[in-house]
Amino acid sequence: MSIHEVCLLAGGFAFFALLLRLSVDDIRTGFLYDRWVGLLAAAGLIMAALGQRTLFSAISGALLGGGLLFAVRMLSRGGIGGGDVKLAAALGLWTGHTGILPALFVAFLLGSL
């Protein structure tokens, strides 16, 4: 197993573990804590720096995801929280600009159930 594969595996584990932690916190308290969202965002930036995707793709994904949910927040007059906006930006760092729209679509679909 190459060092690149080890980094990808560690990144995938971090992604899963942080999203699981955020899910549990959200279900229990209704809050997405900044410390966990921040760790998710930092890990996404590290993965981009390691060559998972380009830094441009990661940052534009964060701006697109965070910007879309910020617009929804403003239009719905607070229907979603600020933690959701930050989470969408963090997910954009992981998925890049090409993956954030499908990720948000799946999130909206699952959230509506």
**Residues 75-90 pLDDT 10s:** 988 778 899 999 999 9
Q: How far is residue 16's CA from residue 31's CA, in Å, rounded to a whole number? A: 18
Q: How far is residue 41's CA from residue 87's CA, in Å, rounded to a whole number? A: 8
Burial class of residue 24 in the structure, from the number of CB atoms within 10 Å of its CB (0-12 exposed, 13-18 middle, 19+ buried): exposed
Alpha carbon distances (Å) from 28 to 24, 32, 102, 113: 6, 10, 27, 18
Q: How far is residue 107's CA from residue 33's CA, in Å, rounded to a whole number? A: 18
- pLDDT tens-digit series, residues 56-77: 999 999 999 999 999 999 998 8
Would the pTM count as exceeding 0.95? no
